[in-house]
Amino acid sequence: INMPVSNNGARVDIFLRLNGLEEAVKRQTPGDFGGMKSEGYLQVNPMGKMPALITETGETIYESAVILEYVADKFAEKATVSCRAPTPELRARARLLNQVHDLYIASANATQPQFFGTQGLLYKADMSLQERAARSHELRKQMDVIEGLLVEGGPFAVGAEPTFADLAIYPTYVFITTMAPQILAWEDVFVNRPKSRAWYAHCESVPAFRASGDGIR
């Protein structure tokens, strides 16, 4: 249960596309349940956010990272691209990249009004100017942290093959590259971030990533 504009839900979409599993799940939107804050949808995801998933047995799963883990496990025998790094060290780095993105950029870690994730400075009209300024500094910092964690030469975040880190970060960087030049007057979001620039360009060249990114733009 998702909408194409959701960067968090897009990580699952990219995994399905990479593995030719687009038809393996039934796609619905929160509107099919009455809207994200409706009683019907809150029974599926009590957080009132996207994405969510209903399993074949009727169990509900929410939080994009958890859904991705479930889908990857569920279709492990059919998947040709596992999106898991080959060594414990690289898996740890991919997980760290995921955490930096999910905790410090993408999530408000709250469901109440007037709590914003850092990415919200790009589209939350009711964010105060003071918080917007602070979030702008925070976004720059976390993008620099991600730059430092990307492996040299890539071409993906931690090596030759995509991992959950790529699937999580790329959709958010689509948001940033699309909106930051207009909202924050950032002429070049990758200035002094050469690894991020090369990584993003490579992801854009992969059809499964690009198709999902086009749904966000």
pLDDT in tens, 36-90: 999 999 999 999 999 999 999 999 999 999 999 999 999 999 999 999 999 999 9
Three-state secondary structure string covering 60-102:
EEECHHHHHHHHHHHCCCCCCCCCCCCCHHHHHHHHHHHHHHH
User: pTM, whole model, 2 decimals?
Assistant: 0.95
Residue 113: what pLDDT? 86
Three-state secondary structure string covering 2-49:
CCCCCHHHHHHHHHHHHCCCHHHCCCCCHHHHCCCCCHHHHHHCCCCC
How confident is residue 144, by pLDDT bands cut at 50, 70 and 90?
very high
Q: What is the mean pLDDT of the chain?
A: 96
pLDDT in tens, 156-210: 999 999 999 999 999 999 999 999 999 999 999 999 999 999 999 999 999 999 9
